[in-house]
A and B are shown apart, each in its own frame.
Chain A
């Protein structure tokens, strides 16, 4: 009995290591996949291809896989207490430009207007890689549910950075809003929501701290586009 339990501990820790190292390996493959697709999509002839729409979608999905893998790997490292958390002073304008640039072609393709409202003089301390994962989650979500318009708003409010991603879709269901308040998003296999993105984002928000204040994540309905609002506050 005792030996069995030791065995199972061994296999669990092996399994976690396998998962982590395979995720790392998969990330390399996905990077190459994205590199190849970006190159193909950058050529002029590609828009004439009958498979252009499929290529765009493939590129988007590959990026989503990459984001998910990063998030899994990050959560694993956070659990092991080995994630190299590194807040730096970041120019929000530059940061959001790079963020948005990744989605430009897809937004154009889906006829979605994206507005970024940011003061070019706004700088804030945060872990760029983690927050770009969080904003990526929010943008993916907004692109899926919006009618045709998304706002990204970054501003300082009472000593905190507030990042809002708003859309003009139907907004979050009351169930999701309730679960968000309870901090208890579960896995919903049928609805295609694993809860990973939300769990990751909430975790990242809480990792950011300054002078005793913690970051937080809020989901709301309303905002300037009367749709869903994803709100990230960082101290």
Chain B
């Protein structure tokens, strides 16, 4: 059972307190987008084995959404951070690079 710390309220929460929200940092494609970019936004996900950025909601707690940087294979958590950002913050990226020297970001 995963243990993630909610950055909004500071609680280290069991997975049963949380709801997953899929891949983080997607860019919304609105009415102006062409078919390919809209398809990408709606359906295409990286689903990497390894470092991944995810959305979670502390649904049975403070109710806030947040982001988590996690290794999908080892389940190591590099950190959790605010949902109100379009890219992972530097301290999280530094932590990931320290733990996964070969990692070059999710293309």
Are A and B genuine complex partners? Answer: no
Binding site for A on B (CB under 8 A): none
